[in-house]
Amino acid sequence: MSWLKRNTPAGNHSVRGVNYSTSPLLASKTPPWRSRLLVMLVGVGFVALAGRALYVQVIESDFFQKKGEERYASTVQLPASRGRIVDRNGQILAISVNAPTISMNPQQFKASDDQKRALVSLLRMPLKEFNAKLSDGGAYTVLRRQIDDGVAQQIRALKVKGLTVEPGYIRRYPENEAAAHVVGFTDIEDRGQEGVELTFQRQLQGHGGSRGVVKDRLGRVVEELGEPVDPRDGRDVQLTIDSKVQALAYQRIRDAVQQHKAKAGSVVVLDAQTGEILALANYPSYLPGERRNLTGAQLRNRAITDVFEPGSTVKPFIASLVLEKGLVRPTTVMDTHPFKVGPLLVNDGSHGHDSMTMAQVIQKSSNVGTVKLAQKLENREMGEMLASLGFGAKPQIGFPGAATGRLRPWKTWKPVEKATMSYGYGLSASLLQIARAYTAIARDGELAPLTLIKGEEALPGVRVFEPETARTMRELLRGTVSADGTAPLAQPLGYSAGGKTGTAEKQEGRGYNSDKHRAWFTGIAPIDNPRVVVAVMVDEPSGVYFGGLVAAPVFKTVVEQTLRTMGVQPDLEIKAPVLTAKPATAPAKPVAVAQLNDASPHKARN
């Protein structure tokens, strides 16, 4: 230390023997721009950090808040229950029941062998399929949709990690095939696909709710966020359909189709006083809850979608207009020999008569007599009358697929076309349109507006005939179901009735197939105070195909049971049956009488 002091110049202070005044680094001057650059860079960095903070905390705070919440918060959807479909009496036609969906997170799935076996068994899923879903590696996969609520409770009791029981619903249809074509069905997402389910989708579907939750890393809910949004269930739809009438109409048309080995059949039942639709039954049908391998033939609501030439069911309307104009009376005798209209030979076949009263023309369904009645009318009068009955116009019932039918403008009619149209050929209509047309006779000349929704404000009726004309025609139609008429098998037990048969070869291409027929009967009961209009159609019956033998018995049983269901008292004396021995074969007279109605109108075209 003494040596260091001796060798250190006076006044020159140093630390640890380092001479700073002679250091080349400290001796050089620092350029001013360098310090300014450094300060500027620090300032720019500060501004950038401040701008970023402003962007994150103020400008895009919602976005970053949302991204942050997504790491720990999620939204659970709360499905709404679809509204019910009920009949006029409140009986359920369609309802949603609890049917949860089972899903899992494969990344978080943990289960013991026993839990896994129990889960696969409850899901009714092959183990190979389950393992394939488990190995997907995704964060979410559905194992089974719309399972029974009881099964879902058993799965929940297993307490398997990564497994979720999601709320859901499935649609049930208590009336099954009987009301399938009216009610329709929904898809797996609960959206209406057919029938009322499709037409009133917006009203039935409701609106789902939601609730915010905080989940842990295993997907378990540990906290709720904010106020939940409750789901709003869909609104109910009440139909004018009577489920009892619908069921019995379906049973009767099903039995008739099977008995006669027919292709299909339909029944329409209307409330004659209000125009409310009590039944729309079709066969073949389907189960709305089981829609695999369905065909178009099963899905079609034939009563409103299929159109055909109505044949002899049009004759009462022609006769009514002639009566209204005072051109004939029921007792007026008419020449009913075969005659020609242009190239068309009009005849009643082998069951024709030389002369008939106007009442007998309706009772025995004479083509010759009907054409002669039509010739007393102007084209305009006849055309406007048919149009006012709803022919050529789409029924306003708010139902998908309702057919319009065809009615050519009266200005284009030729004499031969007018003649064939008078007995129902050259125009087309659905069974629903034909049934509605008969409400004009049942309601004392006023055509009823059709209604499918209960409580819906109905449109006013349309006056077609005077009340006296309609009452007279009802009396003439009563003769059709008498022993001398074309449909004695249509007479209900205990109730008066009247109506009209029809049978026709089916049109194929530009001609008619003599091996294929449609048979139908449309009628009113009771005849003095009508309560129902019932229309029946059987498509392509085998063997016997006349309307008086195939469709009339269906009308009889449907009317009997419908009027009893409605509480209508019988207006005819019910006689006790007399037991007598009868031959094995059916009596010939009803067959011959029924055939008289079907004096092959198409052969009259040739």
In the prediction, which pLDDT does 25 show? 57
Q: Where are the beta strands (DSSP E) in 509-561?
A: 511-525, 532-539
pTM confidence score:
0.78
> Across 55-59, 108-112, 156-160, which has the greatest mean pLDDT?
156-160
Q: What are the angstrom distances between the C-alpha of 406 and each of 307, 425, 436?
A: 9, 11, 16
pLDDT, one tens digit per residue, over 374-408 is: 999 999 999 999 999 999 999 988 888 889 999 99
Q: Are strands 237-238 and 85-86 parallel, antiparallel or unpaired?
A: parallel
Q: Are strands 498-508 and 511-525 parallel, antiparallel or unpaired?
A: antiparallel
Whether the predicted pLDDT of 73 surpasses 70: no
- Tally Cβ neighbours within 10 Å of residue 350: 10
pLDDT, one tens digit per residue, over 471-484 is: 999 999 999 999 99
Strand-pair partners of 517: 505
Query: Which superfamily does CATH assign the domain made up of 68-104+171-239 to?
Result: Penicillin-binding protein 2a (Domain 2) (3.90.1310.10)
Q: What are the angstrom distances between the C-alpha of 294 and each of 62, 283, 495?
A: 51, 14, 40
Residues 91, 95: Cα–Cα separation, whole Å: 11
Q: Are 481 and 498 in contact (CB under 8 A)?
A: yes
Contacts (Cβ under 8 Å, ≥6 apart) of 82: 96, 169, 171, 186, 190, 204, 205, 206, 233, 234
Q: What are the sequence ranges of the domains in the chain? A: 68-104+171-239, 243-572+587-605
Give the closest residue to 538 by CA, choosing from 264, 178, 296, 280: 264
Which residue among 81, 312, 365, 366 is the active-site one? 312
Label residues 89-109 b or e (16+ Cβ within 10 Å = b): eeeebbbbeebbbbbbbeeeb
Q: Extract the tokens encoding 479.
A: 């003769």
In the prediction, which pLDDT does 225 show? 63
pLDDT, one tens digit per residue, over 268-308 is: 999 999 999 999 999 999 998 887 777 778 888 999 999 99
What is the band of 464 on the pLDDT scale with cuts at 50, 70, 90? Answer: very high
DSSP state of 22: G
Residues 187, 67: Cα–Cα separation, whole Å: 35
CATH number of this structure's domain 243-572+587-605:
3.40.710.10
Residues 148, 151: Cα–Cα separation, whole Å: 5
Q: Extract the tokens encoding 585.
A: 């074969």
DSSP state of 58: I
pLDDT, one tens digit per residue, over 236-246 is: 999 999 999 99
Q: Are 253 and 557 in contact (CB under 8 A)?
A: no
Among this protein's residues, is 2 annotated catalytic? no
